[in-house]
Amino acid sequence: MLAATAPLPGLRVELVSAHASETSVVLIELGIVFIVLALLGRLANRIGIPSIPLYLLAGLVMGEGGFIPIDAGEEFLSIGAQIGVVLLLLLLGLEYSPDDLKVGMRTTWKAGILDLVLNATPGFIVAQLLGWSLQASVLLAGVTYISSSGIIARLLDDFDRLANRETPVILSLLVMEDIAMAVFLPLLAVMLVGATFVQGAIAAGIAIAIVAVAFMLAVRFSKHVSAVVHSHSRELLLLGVLGLAFLVAGLAEAVQVSAAVGAFLLGLTLSGNVADQIRGLMPPLRDVFGGIFFVFFGIGIDPRDLGPVLLPALALALVTAVTKIGTGVWAAKRAGIGPKGQWRTGLSLVPRGEFSIVIAGLGVAAGAQPLLGPLAAAYVLALAVAGSILMRFADRIPSPLKAPVRDGSARVRR
Amino acid sequence: MDIFETPLPGVGVRYEFTAEGGDHVGVVVRRDGKRDIALYDRDDPDSCRGTVELSEGDAGKMAELLGGSNIIARLEDLRHTIVGLAIEWVTMPARGGLVGRPLAEGRIRTVTSASVVAVIRGDQGIPGIEPSFIFEPGDTVLVMGSDEAVDRAAAILTG
């Protein structure tokens, strides 16, 4: 897939040497980045894998230490990446109504806790083994914990599994993870500031209180906020929603709740007609800026740093693929799903993607641990691709679950 | 027939039922209006043997094909209650009640306080019913009023 990008460095050198002005360099670099993304997106479509890992790879081969040095356009990419995070989380919030969250919490909280314990622990332990700080370890725990609702929801649709009996179990677990993330991100933001324990505890308490209050306000004033941004003109609607999203995200960041959570809560708040319209309008915008976010994350990583983290990343990928499968099987079994459906549930939860990168990106921006970026990139690359393949062939991969299974713990260990 | 409803967070709602022939059928109604019809596998009841994706328009057409003749029958049972206001469609019997007699003779408004709003005869809707209006067998009469008033009016109409 890199064949397409190989001739480009030479091209760029020629263009830049022709005394190009600053603006033209920026535009040319961005042009190259976008065209590479477009080509990779097509390729991903063609071979049936998500585009996220390819975008990450594209970022890796660009920038510092890569084949295509990008520097002039980096400022735009950096801001574009932040916008990408805001839009990713805004649309995630829009996917769910507050009712979805309430129902999800009520029905799947046990599976949600198992999910958290089984999948965050390996990340934390590996980080500790590597001698990382507490902050960096918590970050890596978040990276390994959260499945990619973007990839999974898309593939469930692509593979015609939306009507399957196990699908509500998968979706509810994803909802639980997203709720956990809304609590986790503000905590993380506080930890990363490097406060003392007491200061940190107070700040974390405040941050969580703000999220809780914001959530209640979101439920209460949903209609009002939606009415304010509503417009029949798509342009005005888009401007209104984007303006509100950036404002809320910025304010949230200012009080250390993290911009991502602000955007997520705003997404939850918008409902009804407005939400329907935005769901039709925003995804292309999100995908463009989301793509920039993944590329920018990759650009920030020197490919030479991948070598030393490759082994831990792959080991972690293997272990957390198994723990995710265990989580899914357990949750599906509790919901009364048959052995084949349990197996599909487990395999469907394996893909990691955008939110692992969002969490790692926070750590990278705060300078928590230099190897966190490369490790997270290698980990997501592995599990985004492997997870999609596992999902696709779920019914053909021989399941170790034979009906009826007697011992629950044995299954989890498989 | 029991229809089970399951919310699909972020997608929509899934309905499923077992057809009389034993096939297990699911319908996913997505938030954007698209519908998926799924036929569950008999060996692995959690998965689908196949799905059909329908747009909102397709789904409407398909509903017409599948159940058009039922709609009139359903109308007879249809009853909306809007806080204290009941609306009922009363079908006139072959004989008895007010069949063949004018509206005024039933003294419906005086006795029950319910109003006869309109009559549907064949394909035609007749609004603004005069006291001299004569009912025919098979007329569908739209009655409005309180719950109780509507019930009593229906009793007078059908005898």
Q: Domain check: are B89 and B64 in the same one?
A: no
Domain count, chain B: 2
What integer pLDDT is reported at residue A128 of this predicted model? Answer: 93
> B53 forms bridges with which residues in the sheet?
B36
Determine, yes or no, domain membership for A5: no
Half-sphere exposure of B28 (CA within 13 A, CB side): 29
Q: Domain check: are B88 and B143 in the same one?
A: yes
Q: Which residues of chain A have pLDDT under 70?
A: 1-20, 64-67, 194-197, 200, 402-414
Q: Do B47 and A344 touch (CB under 8 A)?
A: yes
Separation in Å, CA of A320 to nearest CA in chain B: 24
- Is pTM beyond 0.90? Reply is no
**Residues A263-272: tens digit of each pLDDT:** 888 888 887 7
CA gap A190, A265 in Å, rounded? 18
Q: Domain check: are B85 and B147 in the same one?
A: yes
CATH of the domain at A244: 1.20.1530.20
**Residues B43-79: tens digit of each pLDDT:** 888 888 888 999 988 988 888 888 765 555 555 555 5
Write out chain B residues lying below 8 Å of A172, CB-based. Answer: 9
Pairing of strands B85-91, B48-54: unpaired
Determine, yes or no, domain membership for A209: yes
> B99 forms bridges with which residues in the sheet?
B135
Tell me the average pLDDT across B106-120: 88
> Which of B10, B14, B44 comes nearest A163 by C-beta?
B14
Q: Domain check: are B82 and B59 in the same one?
A: no
Q: Domain check: are B59 and B79 in the same one?
A: no
A168 touches chain B (CB under 8 A): yes
Determine, yes or no, domain membership for A56: no
pLDDT band at B83 (very low <50, low <70, confident <90, very high): low
What is the chain A residue with the closest CA to B4? A165
Domain count, chain A: 1
> Which of B6, B32, B44 comes nearest A168 by C-beta?
B6
What is the chain A residue with the closest CA to B40? A164
What is the chain A residue with the closest CA to B41? A164
Q: Do A164 and B36 touch (CB under 8 A)?
A: no
| Greatest distance between any 2 Cα atoms in chain B | 65
Determine, yes or no, domain membership for A43: no
What is the chain B residue with the closest CA to A268? B10
What integer pLDDT is reported at residue A377 of this predicted model? Answer: 93
Which range of residues forms the domain containing residue A245? 80-286+306-356+364-413
Which range of residues forms the domain containing residue B95? 74-158
Q: Domain check: are B57 and B123 in the same one?
A: no
Determine, yes or no, domain membership for A165: yes
- B114 pLDDT exceeds 50? yes
Write out chain B residues lying below 8 Å of A160, CB-based. Answer: 36, 38, 48, 50-51
Q: What average pLDDT does chain B have?
A: 83
Q: Domain check: are B112 and B45 in the same one?
A: no
Residue A403 φ/ψ, nearest 5 degrees? -80, 140
**Which of residues 143 through 162 in chain A touch B, CB cutoff 8 A?**
149, 153, 160-162
